[in-house]
Chains A and B, each alone.
Chain A
Amino acid sequence: MESDILVVDDSAAIRKILQRVLRQTGMAIGTVYEAGDGQEALDVLKAHKIDLVLTDINMPKMDGIQLLGAIKAAPQWSGMPVMMITTEGGETKVGEAVRLGASGYVRKPFTADQIKEKLAGIVELAVTL
Chain B
Amino acid sequence: MNLQEVLPQSMTQATRQVFSTMLGVEVEVLDTLVEKSLPESTDGLVSFIGLAGSWAGTGSLACSKALGCLICSKMLMTEATSIDEEVLDAVAEITNMVIGSVKTELESIVGPLGLSIPTVVFGRNFTTKSAGTADWIVVRFRCEDETLSVKMCLAPTEKITHVIPHSLGQTCAVDM
Contacts and interface: CB of A to CB of B under 8 A. Distances in A.
A109 B115 contact: no
Contacts of B112: 90, 92
Contacts of B77: 20
B17 interface: yes
Contacts, number: 58
Contacts of B76: 13, 16-17
Given A13-B90, A16-B76, A90-B112, A108 B97 contact: yes
Secondary structure type dominating chain A contacts: loop
Given A88-B100, A90-B104, 16 more contacts: A10-B117, A11-B93, A11-B96, A12-B85, A12-B89, A20-B77, A58-B115, A59-B117, A87-B104, A88-B115, A89-B101, A89-B104, A90-B112, A108-B97, A109-B18, A109-B97
Interface of B: 17-18, 21-22, 72, 75-77, 85-86, 89-90, 92-93, 96-97, 100-101, 103-104, 107, 112-113, 115, 117
